[in-house]
């Protein structure tokens, strides 16, 4: 194999491991999670069922789901020092920075932090699933000069997160839309943050370290942060009347159109239709279709001009906005979903572990003679 063919920038197309968690069925343009069509899961399952599926390999029975839900609700609490950390953080701290640091701090208070057995990692994953929404909601409210809202004793993951942000129960269409987004964001192969988690895990580090590193990777605007950037772009465009001209001008100036394109999909992100569906439902419920109309014009223009389709971040952005979710929380909410996938990858990596240590092509100087500082002048 030649040197050139051995290197793929961004590792595009390079097989970096094995997984039984998800795959993209290119022929039918669909994402399968543990063998299940993800779109079917959005139609008939709740996020808790998908999280259970990722962590256990099978969908739960009714009894198992009730037990899983009860366990999640029992873990909806934060150690006082972690809450103090949130309380004393500067008000302008980005929620992703706050979440990254708070997740790392949680490791201090988990007696199983260093236990890398599959059973312990599943238990730790459940704790993170329960506590990350609390960190998101409490951190946001404290930054606004408000006290945290205690979790609701009966609500599921999606509805409870909205409840803790507002202090009131969400409308059914809001809980449904957020739940669908959590399912769609839950797992997506060897993306940048998941691969980061697997690299950290391959050193035999702990789950908290892997998730903390994954959060750092997800924060970038080319990965999880794209949903925030997409909404800022839509706000800059302003309205449907300006949309086509704005996109054409941006393309002429070679600006990146956020929320579009995906390395793994050639016919469009298979997760988009389900998210667009609930986005339209939210728009209809609140009586505001402007963002839907704007987004559709941007999408049509991008497909016509570049044959580039939107990815999941695009419809998530305007759907969250219609639900009055603050833009800086979009990527943390992504974390609250993807932590199930990350944890499942951690367990899988440890099952057949080998240190991930790729080679590289050296492009620097050839060997040079060393001269002491007195000679170098």
Residue-wise pLDDT for 20-37, tens only, equals 999 998 888 899 999 999
In this structure, the answer to whether residues 58 and 204 fall within a common structural domain is yes
Domain membership of residue 84 (yes or no) is: yes
Our answer to whether residue 110 is catalytic in this structure is no
- Are 208 and 110 contacting, i.e. CB atoms less than 8 angstroms apart? yes
The answer on pLDDT for 296 being more than 90 is yes
Domain membership of residue 2 (yes or no) is: no
Higher pLDDT among residues 261 and 193, named by residue: 193
Distances (CA, A) of 48 to 173, 226, 262: 18, 25, 27
Query: What pLDDT was estimated at residue 287?
Result: 96
- β-bridge mates for residue 260, sequence order: 310
Domain membership of residue 111 (yes or no) is: yes
Domain that holds residue 298: 226-322
What does the DSSP 8-state code read for residue 203? T
Domain membership of residue 371 (yes or no) is: no
CB atoms inside a 10 Å sphere around CB 366? 5
In this structure, the answer to whether residues 165 and 202 fall within a common structural domain is yes
Domain membership of residue 211 (yes or no) is: yes
For the chain, give the percent of residues with pLDDT over 90.
Answer: 87
Our answer to whether residue 249 is catalytic in this structure is no
In this structure, the answer to whether residues 67 and 204 fall within a common structural domain is yes
Query: What pLDDT was estimated at residue 3?
Result: 52
The answer on pLDDT for 210 being more than 60 is yes
Domain membership of residue 178 (yes or no) is: no
Q: How far apart are CA 255 and CA 250, in angstroms?
A: 5
The answer on pLDDT for 62 being more than 70 is yes
Number of C-alpha atoms within 13 angstroms, CB side, residue 191? 26
Least confident of 136-145, 259-268, 344-353: 259-268
Query: What pLDDT was estimated at residue 126?
Result: 98
The answer on pLDDT for 262 being more than 90 is no
Instruction: For residues 119-124, give the mean pLDDT.
Output: 98
In this structure, the answer to whether residues 158 and 100 fall within a common structural domain is yes
Q: Say if residue 221 is exposed, middle or buried (CB neighbours under 10 Å; 0-12, 13-18, 19+).
A: middle
In this structure, the answer to whether residues 194 and 96 fall within a common structural domain is yes
CATH of the domain at 30: 1.10.580.10
Query: What are the tens digits of pLDDT across the range 344-375?
Result: 999 999 999 999 999 999 999 999 999 999 99
The answer on pLDDT for 1 being more than 60 is no
Query: What pLDDT was estimated at residue 328?
Result: 96
Torsion region of 25: left, alpha or beta (phi above 0 gives left; psi -120 to 50 gives alpha): beta
In this structure, the answer to whether residues 136 and 249 fall within a common structural domain is no
Q: How far apart are CA 288 and CA 284, in angstroms?
A: 7
In this structure, the answer to whether residues 264 and 151 fall within a common structural domain is no
Domain membership of residue 11 (yes or no) is: no
Structure tokens at 86: 């949130």
In this structure, the answer to whether residues 71 and 90 fall within a common structural domain is yes
The answer on pLDDT for 4 being more than 60 is no
The answer on pLDDT for 138 being more than 60 is yes
In this structure, the answer to whether residues 123 and 203 fall within a common structural domain is yes
User: Residue 119's closest CA among 22, 207, 31?
Assistant: 207
In this structure, the answer to whether residues 213 and 128 fall within a common structural domain is yes
pLDDT band at 124 (very low <50, low <70, confident <90, very high): very high
How many structural domains does the chain have? 2
* SS3 (DSSP) at 206: coil
In this structure, the answer to whether residues 141 and 247 fall within a common structural domain is no
In this structure, the answer to whether residues 248 and 141 fall within a common structural domain is no
CATH of the domain at 294: 1.10.230.10
Instruction: For residues 120-140, give the mean pLDDT.
Output: 98
Domain membership of residue 1 (yes or no) is: no
Least confident of 47-56, 150-159, 174-183, 265-274: 265-274
Q: Which of 188, 262, 309, 345 is catalytic?
A: 262
The answer on pLDDT for 119 being more than 90 is yes
Q: Which of 179, 188, 313, 345 is catalytic?
A: 313
């Amino acid at each position: 194999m030649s040197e050139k063919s051995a290197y793929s920038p961004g590792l595009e197309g390079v097989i970096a491991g094995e997984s039984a968690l998800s795959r993209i069925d290119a022929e039918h343009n669909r994402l399968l999670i543990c063998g299940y069509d993800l779109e079917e899961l959005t139609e008939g399952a709740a996020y808790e069922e998908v999280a259970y599926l990722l962590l256990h390999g099978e969908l739960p029975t009714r009894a198992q789901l009730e037990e899983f839900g009860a366990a999640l609700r029992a873990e909806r609490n934060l150690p006082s020092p972690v809450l103090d950390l949130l309380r004393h953080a500067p008000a302008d701290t980005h929620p992703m920075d706050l979440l990254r640091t708070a997740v790392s701090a949680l490791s201090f208070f988990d007696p199983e932090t260093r236990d890398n057995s599959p059973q312990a990692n599943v238990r730790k994953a459940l704790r993170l699933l329960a506590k990350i929404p609390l960190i998101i909601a409490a951190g946001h409210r404290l930054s606004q000069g408000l006290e945290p809202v205690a979790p609701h004793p009966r609500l599921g993951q999606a509805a409870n997160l909205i409840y803790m942000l507002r202090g009131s129960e969400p409308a059914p269409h809001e809980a449904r839309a957020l739940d669908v987004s959590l399912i769609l964001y839950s797992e997506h192969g060897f993306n940048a943050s998941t691969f980061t988690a697997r690299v950290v895990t391959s050193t035999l580090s702990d789950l908290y370290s892997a998730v903390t590193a994954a959060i750092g990777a997800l924060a970038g605007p080319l990965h999880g942060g794209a949903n925030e950037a997409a909404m800022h772009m839509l706000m800059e465009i302003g309205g449907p009347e300006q949309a086509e001209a704005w996109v054409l001008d941006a393309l002429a100036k070679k600006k990146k159109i956020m929320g579009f394109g995906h390395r793994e999909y050639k016919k469009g992100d298979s997760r988009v239709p389900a998210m667009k569906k609930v986005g339209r439902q939210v728009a209809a419920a609140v009586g505001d279709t402007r963002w839907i109309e704007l987004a559709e014009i941007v999408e049509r223009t991008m497909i016509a001009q570049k044959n580039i389709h939107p990815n999941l971040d695009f419809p998530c952005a305007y759907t969250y906005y219609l639900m009055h979710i603050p833009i800086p929380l979009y990527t943390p909410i992504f974390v609250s979903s993807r932590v199930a996938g990350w944890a499942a990858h951690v367990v899988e990596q440890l099952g057949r572990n080998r240190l991930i240590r790729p080679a590289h092509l050296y492009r620097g100087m050839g060997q040079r003679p060393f001269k002491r500082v007195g000679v170098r002048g």
